[in-house]
Amino acid sequence: MPLLAMLLAGCGAGDATQQGAQSGSRQLAVSTSVAAAAAAVAPGTIRMHFHRVENDAAQWGVYSWDGPQTPSSAWITDRFLFSGTDAFGGYVDIPLAAGKTSISFLVTDGYGTKNCAADQNVRLNGDIATRGQEIWMLEGDCATYDAAPALTYGNLGNASAYWLSAATLAWPGAATSGSYKLFYASNGGLNANAGGVTGADGSVDLRIGTLPEAIRQKFPHLTGATGLSLSAKDAAAVAQLASSQFAIAQYDSAGNLMKITSLQSAGMLDDVFAARAVNAQLGVTFNAAGVPTFRVWAPTAKSVALNVYANATAGATATVPMTRDAASGVWSYTAPNNAWTNKAYYTYTVNVLSRWADNKVVANTVTDPYSLSVSANSTRSFVANLDSAALKPFGWDVQTIPALAHPTDIALYELHIRDFSASDSTVPAAHRGKYLAFTDTRSDGMRHLKSLAKAGMTHVHLLPSFDFASVDEAKCSVPSIPNAGPDSSAQQAAVAAVQDSDCFNWGYDPVHYNTPEGSYATDAGDGAVRVREFREMVQGLHDADLRVTMDVVYNHTSQSQQGPLSVLDRIVPTYYYRLNPNGGILNDSCCADTAQETTMMGKLMIDSVSMWAKQYKVDSFRFDIMGLSPLDLIKRLQADVNKAAGRDIYLYGEAWNFGAVANDARFVQARQANMYGTGIGSFNDRMRDSVRGGGCCDNGDALFTQQGFINGVWYDPNGKASQTRDDALRLADMVRVALSGTLRDYRFLDRTGAVKSNAEIDYFGQKAGFAANPAETINYIEAHDNQTLFDIDAFRLPQTTSLADRVRVQNLGTAINLLAQGIPFTHAGQEILRSKSLDRDSYNAGDWFNRLDYSYASNNFGVGLPLQNTNGDNWPIMAPLLANPLIKPDSRAIVQARDVFEDFLAIRKDTTLFRLRTAQDVNERLKFYNVGPNQVPGLVVMGIDGSQPRSYAGNEFARVVVLFNVDKTAKTFAIPELKGKKLALHSIQRRGSDDVVKSSSYDRTSGSFSVPARTAAVFVQND
């Protein structure tokens, strides 16, 4: 999902908002006014003032990409330096481009250190062209001021220093001269003025020095920071002071206060408490008699109380204090008996000092981060004993999980729970859009899934099904959509009017990681119901011979700080989130980024996935934006989850490389380049982009000009593209990379005539090949993100392309996806030409644009212009497409696409040659023909040997040869080395639903293959 964060990074920024600077900020004043002494500002110019405590503003500058007459051309090196000086500090005059209404910028030093981690923007005055404009900025403050503000010693709402272990601190950019002190105040109230730090209960002296090597290894982004340390005696006292407010102060050599800041203390909490808490059983657990014990990790809390409620809405029947374990920071309480089990609800009241609450002590009543179930809209945790019969459907413990011999046998079907049945009239009304729809075995949807399973689909990948924030579980609405034209804006207006109160959302906004989502249950208010019904869904899919994959989102939460649905941050403030250099929460994912590198967030992930695998019999997990996770954590998680489940659990995820952690800046990431040899799958954007054309996020003209391998690059130009023969060959080579499992070391003759490994093939500046074995690549050409394949083809194919040819193009994409080495991933509806009426981001576009129709009456194309807020810029180019009668398929075309999809799926299932296990297997057996600079464009020919160097287990055939002819014309291609071989069209295609492919032929005497236009033909050799 969250490809938006990747786009934001293009501005040279990190997170979209700077929370730390504005939440709980307190300006610590030095003086009330500062007189300026500089020449008047020239018309059409903005003067930016910047004050640094150490008076080194001249080393800093403004990087601005939008607003100046001459925008900055290169990050860091091309800045507008604060070369002028006045009584306030440094300043720079920036001439502005005519007509600009704002300027976007970052203030940074020569090393890329940002004064504010977020992009900044200032509105320009209406008279700036004649009078100019001035703004003022302070060190460590993301605000901009229209008049010179009081100078400060710092902002204790920010945290620019780091507490990395009990004895070690770091302060990037701080001087190595002078002296430092660590101050603490039990109940908050620290402040500073010209006389020094006030409000403290005490302080300890810090020693200046270099950071220990072990610390630098653990925190590589702080390697160059100034190191500070506590004495052994002071470090030993840290645990007793942990609930206090802390601040670090810098003094010059004369003992004058220079600046002060709060601290980012996750490292210290890990060192002092988490190492002893990591093996604790958190949440609610039960003894043999069903008596619950409640445990929550809150090392900085002053007290924690357990509140118990008889039901989801009643007032508290009991409030009892919990007991703190001093060594681990875990608070616990054991109930007197089992009366609360599977009946009562609970919350915790945590008294804790929070930087998000202006560094004051707050009483936060909050649900359990380890909640196993909750009341409607996540207001109370439910005392759920998952081992009890009351929370299990009939036959739960003895059900049969479909067998799986090897990960490369997996075929994934990505499905949204509500999409599956919301519009299916063959599902009982009470089950539509719910977990229980998967138990209605005779519905259109379940018949469709069972047919796919019979053909070779193995796993249903469910979009987020944990507890999420974006749907009101108690009273969501269903909009009334007007009957309007295919290119009308009326439908989207009706959807938009209720899009934040309707029953649809993808659900990538977690609240409770261990709880089933309530909007998919028939009674969200009863904590037992969602547990039982989720299990019924899993059991129903297993009974249909399908394994279950959960889409999990541990990289962010829906809310943080003191938000009403903030859970983690109201128990251990700031600990669970990844912070920017000023102490604000990063939003690289889209929302509040969790700090999975911390011990207890990592533990939460491992415990959560283990619970789903063991208690809900989930078979596989897909990790949203896995690249934001530490590789070591994902590897440990794999081992622990397999142990918990008692079987192998397949993991895969989005191993994208971006954000504050990019290129292993803070830890070794679980990104594509690092996943080699792990056995964990990464989504294969190489296949996606080569087959579809362009990139994930094309917009405007690029939707037309970047034709892909199957939809016309060079061989069928659409009138707007100007691609060359070399572009066609380049994309063909990338398809070969994908067909060979995107293995790093597989080699073939590329379009330049050189034998190269997949890693030596260029993919937008990256190495195309990244996998160590086929199970490490998730091949896809369509997913919930971005346009469907049918919709992207609507842009890229010539507008006069017939419906029959559009279906054939879709089938070509299917063939490449399903017959490539690796694990194929299919977006639900891809097999039936699914459309979202050209929507590129339907996460909140309602049932209307996300409709799935398993009756095959419609593919949902031309149901109106998609939502304006995400697609409005492209409406002028979308409207003619939606109105084009040649594009919208009829039921016959939809069924034809489904049948061909199942044919290719069955061919994959029929032989292990399309499911090779190892890189050695691929290197020894897979070969491409029609390669090099003289190849026939538009034709990829792949051979796989089933008999040499030895007979391959499950091969069924001595050889398979696949010809992917994407051109508009038939092709004949000879392979001399196959002369005399007995090859014939695969029997599934000979008797299948595609009459065109049946005319494909092979001439044994010449080794020549003939394949119709826009056809993928599979030939097999039986002897």
Model pLDDT, residue 31: 36
- Residue 194 pLDDT exceeds 60: yes
144-167 pLDDT per residue, tens: 999 999 888 988 999 999 999 999
- Kindly tell me if the per-residue pLDDT of 182 is higher than 70: yes
Q: Is the pLDDT of residue 2 over 60?
A: no
For residue 980, count other CB atoms closer than 10 A to its CB. Answer: 9
Condensed to tens digits (0 to 9), the pLDDT of residues 316-373 reads 999 999 999 999 999 999 999 999 999 999 999 999 999 999 999 999 999 999 999 9
Among candidate residues 708, 709, 690, 687, the one with its CA nearest the CA of residue 774: 687
DSSP string, 842-904: -TTSHHHHT---TT-S---TTSSPPPHHHHGGGHHHHHHHHH-TTTS--HHHHHHHHHHHHHH
CA neighbor of 1019 nearest in space, from 1002, 999, 1005, 1007:
1002
Q: How many percent of the chain have pLDDT more than 70?
A: 96
pLDDT at 5: 34
Q: Parallel, antiparallel, or unpaired for β 983-985 and 1015-1021?
A: antiparallel
CA pair distance 33, 38, nearest whole angstrom: 16
Of the residues 270, 409, 597, 624, only one is catalytic, namely 624
User: Which pLDDT score is estimated for 151?
Assistant: 85
Which residues of the chain does CATH 2.60.40.1110 include?
45-145
Q: Is 7's pLDDT higher than 80?
A: no
Q: Which pLDDT does position 545 carry in this prediction? A: 98
Q: What is the largest CA-CA distance in the chain?
A: 98
Asked if the model's pLDDT at residue 17 lies above 70, the reply is no
DSSP per residue, 823-834: EEEEETTGGGT-
Average pLDDT over residues 747-763: 98
CA distance linking residue 931 with residue 921, whole number of Å: 21
CB 852 within 8 A of CB 829: yes
pLDDT computed for residue 8 by the predictor: 30
Q: Give the model's confidence band at 15: pLDDT under 50 very low, under 70 low, under 90 confident, else very high.
A: very low
CATH code: domain 161-271 is 2.60.40.1130
Residues with Cβ within 8 Å of 846's Cβ and at least 6 positions away in sequence, in order, are 479, 495, 498, 499, 502, 504
- Torsion (CA) 577, 579, 585, 588 in degrees, nearest 10: -90
Cα–Cα distance, 755 to 932 (Å, whole number): 9
Burial string for 383-420 (b: 16+ CB within 10 Å, else e) reads bbbbeeeebbbeebeeeeebebeebbbbbbbbbbbbbb
983 membership: H or E segment, kind and range: strand 983-985
**What's the confidence (pLDDT) of residue 257?**
95
Which pLDDT tens digit goes with each residue over 206-243? 999 999 999 999 999 999 999 999 999 999 999 999 99
Q: Which two tokens stand for residue 781?
A: 């050409």
Residue 507 Rama label (left phi>0; alpha psi -120 to 50; beta):
left
Helix, coil or strand: residue 101: coil
926-1022, CATH topology level: Immunoglobulin-like (2.60.40)
Letter for the amino acid at 40? A
pLDDT of residue 83 exceeding 70, the answer is yes
Q: What is the mean pLDDT of residues 387-406?
A: 98
37 — pLDDT class (breaks 50, 70, 90): low
Task: Please check whether residue 117 is in contact with residue 123, taking contact to mean a CB–CB distance below 8 angstroms.
Answer: no
Helix (H) or strand (E) segment spanning residue 985: strand 983-985
Average the pLDDT over 247-254 and give the result.
96
User: What average pLDDT does this structure show over 24-41?
Assistant: 50
**For residues 398 and 269, what is the distance between their CA atoms, to the nearest angstrom?**
43
Q: Report the distance separating Cα 185 and Cα 143, nearest Å.
A: 27
Quick check: 685 and 6 in contact, CB under 8 A? no
Q: What is the reported pLDDT for 343?
A: 98
> Which of 72-101 are b and which e, b meaning 16 or more Cβ less than 10 Å from the residue's Cβ?
beeebeebbebebebebbbbbbbebeeebe
Q: What is the DSSP string of 199-214?
A: S-SEEEEEEEEPPPHH
Question: Mean pLDDT across the chain, nearest whole number?
Answer: 95
Q: Annotated catalytic residue: which of 640, 654, 776, 782? A: 654
pLDDT at 28: 44
| CA dist., res. 830 & res. 184, Å (int) | 59
pLDDT band (50, 70, 90) for residue 6 = very low
Report how far Cα 577 is from the mean position of its chain's Cα atoms: 16
Q: Indicate whether 52 pLDDT > 80.
A: yes
C-alpha to C-alpha distance for 672 and 691, rounded to whole angstroms: 20
pLDDT tens-digit map of 633-671: 999 999 999 999 999 999 999 999 999 999 999 999 999
Q: Does domain 279-391 have CATH number 2.60.40.10?
A: yes
Q: Which fold has domain 45-145?
A: Immunoglobulin-like (2.60.40)
Average pLDDT for 396-409: 98
Please say if 368 is a catalytic residue.
Answer: no
Half-sphere CA count of 608, side-chain side, radius 13 A? 26
CATH 2.60.40.1130 positions along the chain are: 161-271
User: Is residue 624 among the annotated active site residues?
Assistant: yes
Averaged pLDDT for residues 616-644: 98
Burial state string for 127-164 with b = 16 or more CB within 10 A and e = fewer than 16: ebeeebbbbbbbbbbbbbeeebbebbbbbbbbbbbbbb
Model pLDDT, residue 76: 87
DSSP 8-class letter at 482: P
Residues of the chain with CATH 2.60.40.1180: 926-1022
